[in-house]
């Protein structure tokens, strides 16, 4: 009377709902590496190494905890290439009488799980993913009847629900959000913390060798691979962040420095999104540090907001909007993604820094994603679906449920303002204010016209002009359009001509 429990690559948790209250002796956990999951986009090679190695280590951890694990490797000659095919083989091997699985994290995989009920002659039980604070129904109830689905108000609901940073019914410190205090530019600091680097063990080196031989055309490098691939190491990275980086995380979370890919960021999102770390437990530890006066309130609140606010919110948006969300393109952007997104080879220093570290580490922090690579794609008019597929491919923490709303909604405004209240478009002045990138660039951030002018400047005004029919009525865009209106007609023509010339040379 065997129960077969498939565990997906983003479900590397011992407290998974499918495993709860089960007799280990009567269950077999099925974990599989298959082509349909490793190849639906051209994943960064380091991302593939992280996921596959974390899966293999998690399987060993489950075995050590008393579970029977049936594990199929990608290079197994009998591997069918699909999860459904491997499930069918496992049912035959085990003689299972039931399939028990935790719900999928994205629409593509949900369709696969839903098909299992028709595909197999034994019962298929799909359980909710209890690792999130808000269920699908809870988010839908919150969204019902609202004209605008702003994260800030959802975040307050999650603060009340968890009690995190609450003073009775009021927020700790008298305000919900300390984001205004978290926008300081950073200076180079020899005492800046560095995240831990975990040298690949034998199992990880085996995965690296397979990925390097099998995915030769994929973006990225693996020679500096240093992600944690076990829960124990992920917890060690978590403790390192809390001890050394969290106190200044709030102040400098939007800052950017040449040659400094990590700054005071946690580098924990890959582990949270794949299941190695418990997000609520992490937030409670952050709060505890604040209560003990080890970190300031703006740092604790800013970090907790990213997890119980933004992370939960984008998951809700993803499931609430449905599988057609990926097709939205409110601004009708059609330009192809420039080839330098895959190489980092561009004279724009900010772009080469953000893309270069992405290629090297499969990582960039949220401002580099939003206000450098995302901002450029937005003001250049790049097809948002191509932008989405790039982000999904290149970042180790990218799963569609969390990446798609961030890209189409927050970064590219392709949903017309459902998620973000305005387009996050900016000229070079913002980049200069929040980084040292511009001082090391061959372009001049203070010039708008001419061969040495920062491309972001003319592209920004061209974006404003060509999207004026859709954006002028937005209250948050009133000031930029007042500035546009003050320009002479000659200046407007010159700026748009500068943008057009740059875009014509883009590839």
pLDDT digits (tens, 9 = 90+) for 478-497: 999 999 999 999 999 999 99
Helix (H) or strand (E) holding 4: strand 3-6
Q: Domain of residue 429: give its range.
A: 339-504
Q: Could you tell me the CATH number of the domain that includes residue 379?
A: 1.10.579.10
Is 234 a domain residue? no
For residue 8, give the nearest of 94, 120, 108 by alpha carbon.
108
- Rounded-to-integer distance, Cα 421 and Cα 410, Å: 9
Spatial CB neighbours of 43, under 8 Å, sequence gap ≥ 6: 215, 218, 393
Residue 329 in any domain: the answer is no
Least Cα distance to 31 among 50, 11, 14, 48 occurs for 11
Lowest mean pLDDT among 172-186, 230-244, 304-318, 386-400: 172-186
Position 410 in a domain: yes
* Res 507 pLDDT > 80: no
Distances (CA, A) of 64 to 22, 57, 434: 16, 11, 47
How far apart (Å, rounded) are the C-alpha atoms in residues 262 and 31? Answer: 32
- Contact at 8 Å (CB) between 379 and 456? yes
Please tell me whether residues 464 and 366 are part of one structural domain.
Answer: yes
CA quadruple 130, 133, 138, 139: dihedral positive or negative? negative
> What is the distance between the terminal CA atoms of the chain, rounded to a whole angstrom?
60
Q: What is the pLDDT of residue 190?
A: 65
pLDDT score of 283:
98
Tell me what pLDDT residue 101 has.
98
Q: How confident is the model at residue 146 (pLDDT cuts 50, 70, 90)?
A: confident
Average pLDDT of the residues of the chain: 96
- Whole-number pLDDT of residue 395: 98
pLDDT band, very low/low/confident/very high, at 68 (cuts 50, 70, 90): very high
Same domain, 370 and 452: yes
Over residues 274-297, the pLDDT tens digits come to 999 999 999 999 999 999 999 999
Residues 254 and 400 in one domain: no
Based on the fold, state whether residues 49 and 8 are members of the same structural domain: yes
Nearest to 497 by CA among 468, 464, 462, 460: 462
Residue 465 CA to residue 474 CA, distance in Å, equals 14
Would the pLDDT of 179 be above 70? yes
The CATH number linked to 36 is 3.40.50.620
- State the angle between helix axes of 312-321 and 136-143 in degrees (0 to 180), rounded to the nearest 10: 80
Q: What is the mean pLDDT of residues 436-457?
A: 97
Considering the domain architecture, whether residues 250 and 307 belong to the same structural domain is answered as yes
Same domain, 35 and 113: yes
Same domain, 427 and 406: yes
DSSP H/E element including 53:
helix 45-64
Across 23-27, 48-52, 143-147, 205-209, least confident range: 143-147
3-state secondary structure 203-238: HHHHHHHHHHHHCCCCCCCCCCCCCCCCHHHHHHHH
Q: Are residues 313 and 369 in the same domain?
A: no
Burial class (CB in 10 A: 0-12, 13-18, 19+), 75: exposed
Domain tally for the chain? 3
Q: Among residues 127, 149, 169, which one ends one of the domains?
A: 127
pLDDT (mean) for 348-358? 98
Alpha carbons 114 and 99: distance in angstroms, whole number: 12
Averaged pLDDT, 210-217 = 97
Same domain assignment for residues 114 and 144: no
Q: Is 297 a member of any domain?
A: yes
Question: Are 97 and 190 in a shared domain?
Answer: no
Instruction: Round the CA-based radius of gyration of the chain to a whole number and report it.
Output: 24
Using alpha carbons, select from 287, 315, 302, 193 the residue that is nearest to residue 254: 302
CA pair distance 290, 164, nearest whole angstrom: 11
145 confidence band (pLDDT: 50, 70, 90): confident
How many residues are present in the chain? 507
Whether 159 maps to a domain, the answer reads yes
- The whole-model pTM stands at 0.96
What percentage of the chain exceeds 90 in pLDDT?
Answer: 95
Instruction: Label residue 180 by pLDDT band (50, 70, 90).
Output: confident
Q: Looking at the domain assignment, is residue 24 inside a domain? A: yes
If you average pLDDT over residues 410-422, what whole number do you get? Answer: 95
337 secondary structure, DSSP code: P
């Amino acid at each position: 009377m065997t129960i077969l429990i498939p565990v997906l690559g983003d479900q590397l948790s011992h407290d998974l709902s499918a495993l709860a209250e089960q007799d280990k002796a009567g269950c077999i956990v099925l974990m599989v590496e298959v082509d349909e999951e490793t190849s639906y986009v051209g994943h960064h090679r380091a991302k593939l190494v992280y996921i596959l190695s974390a899966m293999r280590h998690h399987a060993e951890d489950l075995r050590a905890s008393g579970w029977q694990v049936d594990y199929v490797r990608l290079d197994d000659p009998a591997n069918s290439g699909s999860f459904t095919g491997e499930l069918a083989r496992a049912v035959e091997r085990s003689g299972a009488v039931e399939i028990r699985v935790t719900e999928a994290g994205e629409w593509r995989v949900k369709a696969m799980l839903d098909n299992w009920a028709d595909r197999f002659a034994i019962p298929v039980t799909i359980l909710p993913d209890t690792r999130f604070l808000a269920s699908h129904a809870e988010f839908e109830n919150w969204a019902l009847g609202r004209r605008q689905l702003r994260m800030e108000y959802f975040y307050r609901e999650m603060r009340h629900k968890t009690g995190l940073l609450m003073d009775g019914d009021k927020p700790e410190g008298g305000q919900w959000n300390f984001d205004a205090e978290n926008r300081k530019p950073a200076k180079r600091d020899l005492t800046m913390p560095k995240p831990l680097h975990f040298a690949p063990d034998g199992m990880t080196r085996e995965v690296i060798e397979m990925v390097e031989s099998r995915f030769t055309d994929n973006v990225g490098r693996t020679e500096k691979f240093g992600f944690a691939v076990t829960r124990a190491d992920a917890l060690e990275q978590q403790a390192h962040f809390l001890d050394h980086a969290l106190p200044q995380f709030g102040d400098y979370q939007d800052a950017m420095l040449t040659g400094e890919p990590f700054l005071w960021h946690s580098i924990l999102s890959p582990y949270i999104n794949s299941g190695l770390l418990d997000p609520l437990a992490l937030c409670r530890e952050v709060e505890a540090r604040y209560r003990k006066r080890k970190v300031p309130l703006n740092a604790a609140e800013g970090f907790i907001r990213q997890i119980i606010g933004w992370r939960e919110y984008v998951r809700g948006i993803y499931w609430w909007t449905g599988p057609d969300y990926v097709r939205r393109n409110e601004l009708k952007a059609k330009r192809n993604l420039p080839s330098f997104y895959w190489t980092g080879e561009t004279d724009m220093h900010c772009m080469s820094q953000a893309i270069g570290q992405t290629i090297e580490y499969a990582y960039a922090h949220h401002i580099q994603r939003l206000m450098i690579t995302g901002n450029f794609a937005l003001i250049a008019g790049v097809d948002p679906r191509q932008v989405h597929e790039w982000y999904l491919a290149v970042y180790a923490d990218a799963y569609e449920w969390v990446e798609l709303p961030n890209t189409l909604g927050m970064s590219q405004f392709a949903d017309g303002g459902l998620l973000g209240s305005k387009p996050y478009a900016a000229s070079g002045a913002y980049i200069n204010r929040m980084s040292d990138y511009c001082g090391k660039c061959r372009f001049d951030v203070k010039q708008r016209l001419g061969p040495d002018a920062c491309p972001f400047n003319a592209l920004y005004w061209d974006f404003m002009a060509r999207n004026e029919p859709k954006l002028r009525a937005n209250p948050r865009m009133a000031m930029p359009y007042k500035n546009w209106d003050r320009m002479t007609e000659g200046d407007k023509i010159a700026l748009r001509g500068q943008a057009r010339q740059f875009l014509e040379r883009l590839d």
